[in-house]
Amino acid sequence: MAFSLEVQSDVRPANLPSIWVQALAQHGIAIEFPPNFLSECETGVLIMKVLAAPAALTREDVNEPASAYFEFWTDEDGFGFSTASGRSTLDFAVQCLCAATLADHLDAVYVDPQMGKSARGADALSLAMEEIKYFISTPDEEVYRKFVGWNTL
């Protein structure tokens, strides 16, 4: 089952990678974007290289290069973030934190339609952390996939 999040905003920042790299670092996630990632808001599957992530966000420490994926899009309401079933705990954490940190940066509304909850600005981070803690408590979920290189993706 897919898991989707929305960030409702009419602002479209041109520096998403730098927003996310700095914000995720504050949560212990070291992340890189593809060399050809355009800084404008793009639509499609966003694949990131995660160099490190703490067990508090993924269930196990990630200490080797790993891949994180989510679908990302913009529309008239703002931004969308989605992962399919089979997602890793790392995918889920990065999805939630990218959405929440964007909501915080823009003072926008973070919406979880599955739970019927929303939060504005900095409060989005608390809601994202609640969702992450619930998801990583499920022992059946894969923690991460090794990163195999930008050219093989």
Q: What is the pLDDT of residue 41?
A: 52
3-state secondary structure of 29: coil
State the Cα torsion 132-135-137-140 to the nearest 10°: -140
Can you give the residue ranges of every domain in the chain?
Answer: 3-139
3-state secondary structure of 13: coil
> What average pLDDT does range 17-24 have in this prediction?
93
**Tens of pLDDT along 108-142?**
999 999 999 999 999 999 999 999 999 999 878 89
Q: What is the pLDDT of residue 56?
A: 96
* Paired tokens of 13: 């920042």
The amino acid that residue 126 corresponds to is S
> What average pLDDT does range 94-113 have in this prediction?
97
pTM of this prediction exceeds 0.85? yes
The neighbour count for residue 132, using CB atoms within 10 Å, is: 23
**Tens of pLDDT along 29-83?**
999 988 777 655 557 888 899 999 999 999 999 999 999 999 999 988 999 999 9
CA atoms of 48 and 69, how far apart (whole Å): 6
